Amino acid sequence: MSTQRKALSLISGGLDSMLATRVILDQGIHVEGVNFFTGFCVEGHTHAIRKKDRAKPKRNNALWVAETLGIKLHIVDVIDEYKDVVINPKHGYGSNMNPCLDCKCFMVRKAHEWIQAHNFDFIITGEVIGQRPMSQRRDTMPVIQRESGAEDRLLRPLCGKNLPETLPEREGWIDRERLYGFSGRGRKPQIALAREMGIEDYAQPSGGCCFLTDEAYSHKLTDLWQARGERRYELDDIMLLKVGRHLRPRPNFKLIIGREEGENNFLEGYRKQFTHIRTLSHPGPLVLLDGEPGADDIALAARIAARFSKGRDAEQVEVEITPLGAEARREHVAPMPSGEMPQEWYL
Amino acid sequence: MSHYELDARRMLCPMPVIKTQNLVATLKPGDTVEVFCTDHGALNDVPAWSRINGHEVIATRESDGEISITVRVGDSDG
């Protein structure tokens, strides 16, 4: 009796990894999925925070893909280890703060460690030559194999026909003829294959699943590093970059201003870690001050907080200021006129 | 058979699922875990994770924006 071969598939929740997995399942391989949580995954977070989005059905696409395919899914927290990928990417960044090639090498390396620990035979990904400008190119495919340590135990079923033979093909565990030869940025072959396989429902394909590819988010992350004078972050930092309006009036502090009830509730959970301001006389947002604000800065922030309340046109707004680690106090402040808030403050 | 409680309040998905998964990996079949969370996404994700991995959601409660989901560990190896 032949040995049941086992593969681990990197499941993003998008269509490509779903198809790649299905191709290998159809060849009789036992497949389990892995999904790495870096902290930058878009997956539902903004939905979870914003009140208006709560009513919309929400699902974790990686879990949904796994359930649809009938495979197990292991979700792995790589938040701490991933920091080095973001802070020191050997291959640099893409058009924003996205270290796509280092990221793929990292994830395949983690997958390789996993298959060694769990006695699996090979790894599959949904990569397609030319699909992504940084990480999915003909010249980067071997880089990922080499730097991850996976070498020829890494199989890309959607473009495998265009790549050198891998171990699972050589050993006859899978049939190379039943792999695909997709290439380029187009989505048509994937969509056609999905239809052929009877897969009609899938998440919007690729690219939009990581905050590091987002220009506004990347700008806020760079600003954070610049303000702190060092390139480092904690999970709370990168979560807070996803929430609220961020304004930096002075280099030593910034304001995080909730934009609606859901965001205010989310920020509530963080208020004990920050100097914070809320408006009392008028409905308004919760405002956190990140950095090291002095008395002058707090006074300025209170006027900005008043500006973002319903009392923006009032002469005075009563605010409650709670400095970090101190008692709350009440003050009356004049809302800052919008003309005095330069656009450069907005991150 | 033991019962455990897991505090995943304020965590956004998939963290409640990861915490549940990591705790369940150390438990025995029949043990139960009550996961407390505030991200409504957990209402989808914890049951989906449980179905995939052979565990069973035996109770779900929701009040004041807080959710609790009780999972019974299945016989599955993983």
Condensed to tens digits (0 to 9), the pLDDT of residues A53-63 reads 665 556 788 99
Whether the pLDDT of residue B53 is over 90: the answer is: yes
Half-sphere exposure of A170 (CA within 13 A, CB side): 11
Residues in B touching A54 (Cβ below 8 Å):
40
Residue B22 lies in a domain: yes
CA end-to-end distance (rounded Å), chain A: 62
Across the interface, whether the CB atoms of A64 and B10 are under 8 A apart is answered no
Residue A39 lies in a domain: yes
* Distance between A43 CA and the closest CA of chain B, angstroms: 8
Whether the pLDDT of residue A263 is over 80: the answer is: yes
Question: Which of A130, A135, A263 minimizes the C-alpha distance to A209?
Answer: A135
- A175 and A33, same domain (yes or no): yes
- A149 and A252, same domain (yes or no): no
CA end-to-end distance (rounded Å), chain B: 18
**Distance between CA A220 and CA A243 in Å, rounded?**
11
- Tens digits of per-residue pLDDT, A268-316? 989 999 999 999 999 999 999 999 999 999 999 999 999 999 999 999 9
CATH, residue B32: 3.30.110.40
Whether the pLDDT of residue A237 is over 70: the answer is: yes
pLDDT at A2: 77
> Which sign, positive or negative, has the C-alpha torsion A61, A246, A226, A342?
positive
Contacts 24+ apart (CB under 8 A), B5-11: B5/B33, B5/B34, B5/B36, B6/B33, B6/B34, B6/B35, B6/B36, B7/B36, B8/B35, B8/B36, B8/B37, B8/B42, B9/B36, B9/B37, B9/B38, B9/B66, B10/A269, B10/B38, B11/B37, B11/B38, B11/B39
User: Final residue of a domain: which of A210, A231, A255?
Assistant: A210
Name the pLDDT band for B78 (thresholds 50, 70, 90): very low
Residue A337 lies in a domain: yes
pLDDT at A131: 85
Residue B47 lies in a domain: yes
* Structural domain boundaries enclosing A35: 6-210
- A68 and A21, same domain (yes or no): yes
- A121 and A170, same domain (yes or no): yes
Residue B72 lies in a domain: no
Q: Which residue has the higher pLDDT, A257 or B77?
A: A257
pLDDT at A48: 61
Residue A238 lies in a domain: no
- A28 and A92, same domain (yes or no): yes
Question: Which of A111, A101, A103, A110 minimizes the C-alpha distance to A83?
Answer: A103
CATH, residue A78: 3.40.50.620
- A187 and A250, same domain (yes or no): no
pLDDT at B65: 81
The answer to whether the beta carbons of residues B19 and B8 sit under 8 Å apart is: yes
Residue B70 lies in a domain: no
Across the interface, whether the CB atoms of B78 and A239 are under 8 A apart is answered no
Query: Any catalytic annotation for residue B37?
Result: no
Residue A124 lies in a domain: yes
Residue A237 lies in a domain: no
* Closest alpha carbon within chain B to A67: B52
Average pLDDT, chain B: 92
* Distance between B58 CA and the closest CA of chain A, angstroms: 19
Instruction: Please give the model's pTM, rounded to 2 decimal places.
Output: 0.90
Residue B71 lies in a domain: no
Structure tokens that stand for A113 in this block: 């460690």
Whether the pLDDT of residue A136 is over 90: the answer is: no
Structure tokens that stand for A155 in this block: 């199989």
pLDDT at B76: 63
Q: Note the Cα A17 to chain centre separation in Å.
A: 17
Residues in B touching A73 (Cβ below 8 Å):
49, 52-53
E strands along chain A, which residues? 6-10, 30-37, 73-77, 122-124, 154-155, 245-250, 253-257, 275-279, 287-291, 317-322, 329-333
Of the partner residues B48, B65, B78, the one whose CB lies closest to the CB of residue A60: B48
Selected residues 73-102 of chain A with any CB under 8 Å from a CB in chain B: 73-77
* Closest alpha carbon within chain A to B48: A63
Residue B24 lies in a domain: yes
Residue A227 lies in a domain: no
**Distance between CA A231 and CA A88 in Å, rounded?**
9
* 3-state SS assignment for residue A343: helix
Q: Which one is catalytic: B13, B15, B43, B57?
A: B13
Average pLDDT, chain A: 92
Question: Which of A324, A266, A205 minimizes the C-alpha distance to A48?
Answer: A266
pLDDT at A277: 97
* Structural domain boundaries enclosing B33: 3-64
**Distance between CA B20 and CA B73 in Å, rounded?**
11
- Number of structural domains chain B divides into: 1
Give me the mean pLDDT over the A196-222 stretch: 84
* Alpha-carbon separation of residue A290 from A127, A248, B31 (angstroms): 39, 9, 43
- Number of structural domains chain A divides into: 2
Query: Is the minimum CB–CB distance between A51 and chain B shorter than 8 Å?
Result: no
